[in-house]
Amino acid sequence: MTSKEKRKIANFLDVARDFIGSGYKSAGNQYQFEDDAVLSPAAPPIITPKIDDSLDKIALEIKSCGDCSLCERRLNAVPGEGVEKPLVMVIGEGPGEDEDKQGRPFVGRAGQLLDKMLSSIGLSRESNAFIANVVKCRPPNNRNPRPEETAACARFLKRQIFVLKPRFILSAGRVSASTLLNTTESIESLHGKFKEYISGDDVYPLLVTYHPAALLRKEEYKRPAWEDLKILRSKMES
């Protein structure tokens, strides 16, 4: 608030006091105020993973989380599943109906397709991959997660990546790619290209591809998605 605004308020209060008291206006006080200091916007919170963190600890926190409205309608939170220290960490968008019922990621039709896609290049959640999502609770009617929802889950995903330390990240779909890379580029311009996901001192090679659910909706995405997988396989072999 400026000094001028403060003087106006003080003078108004003086007039109100005089009116309620004697009914006569007294000699005004000469107030001296200073402008309030201009505060700079608060910096975003820094998420610092702990050395003694673990997947089990993160999963327990996810299951009890109430930081956004998605928790209100969930049946089960879906932390993710796979092996520790995976060759590849797959990060999708969010749980669907089947995932919400089972508490496991990618178990519906899109998940079955994802397992086949991974198997085609020698990957599996049972042996050398970990599968997770940007948000850990199902958005209503499978809509895209909102910014406040991805922000609420960011700390969990960042900690998972820190603990897992995957050799590569496979980002499945536009929502995952835009969240991890902080970009508004389209999936068409991002897919098939290696980017860098930076977390603290760690840098992870990240490849963007189409979400398996998109392949089920649009046949024309299957060929470029397969080309993306071949790029990932070639990078893993090298």
Confidence (pLDDT) at 39: 39
| Coil, helix or strand at residue 221 | helix
User: With 50 as the cut, is the pLDDT of residue 41 above it?
Assistant: no
pTM: 0.79
Q: Encode pLDDT of 45-59 as tens digits.
A: 445 556 689 999 999
CATH number of 55-237: 3.40.470.10
pLDDT at 28: 61
Query: 16 vs 81, which has greater pLDDT?
Result: 81
Q: What proportion of the chain, given as a percentage, has pLDDT over 90?
A: 76
Average pLDDT for 71-93: 97
Residues 171 and 180: beta-carbon distance below 8 Å = yes
Q: How far apart are CA 7 and CA 156, in angstroms?
A: 49
Alpha helices by DSSP H, listed for 51-208, are 55-63, 97-102, 109-119, 147-164, 174-181, 187-190
In 3D space, the residue among 198, 127, 138, 136 whose CA is nearest the CA of residue 169 turns out to be 198
Is pLDDT at 37 greater than 90 in this prediction? no
Identify which has the larger pLDDT, 89 or 2.
Answer: 89
> What would the mean pLDDT of 109-119 be, rounded to a whole number?
97
At residue 128, the 3 state secondary structure works out as coil
Residues in the chain, overall count: 238
Mean pLDDT computed over every residue of the chain = 89
Q: Contact, 121 vs 229, CB < 8 A?
A: yes
Mean pLDDT in residue range 108-115:
97
pLDDT interval class at 16 (50, 70, 90): low
Write down the domain spans for the chain: 1-39, 55-237
Q: Which helix (DSSP H) or strand (DSSP E) does residue 18 occupy? A: helix 3-20
> 150: closest CA among 210, 70, 209?
70
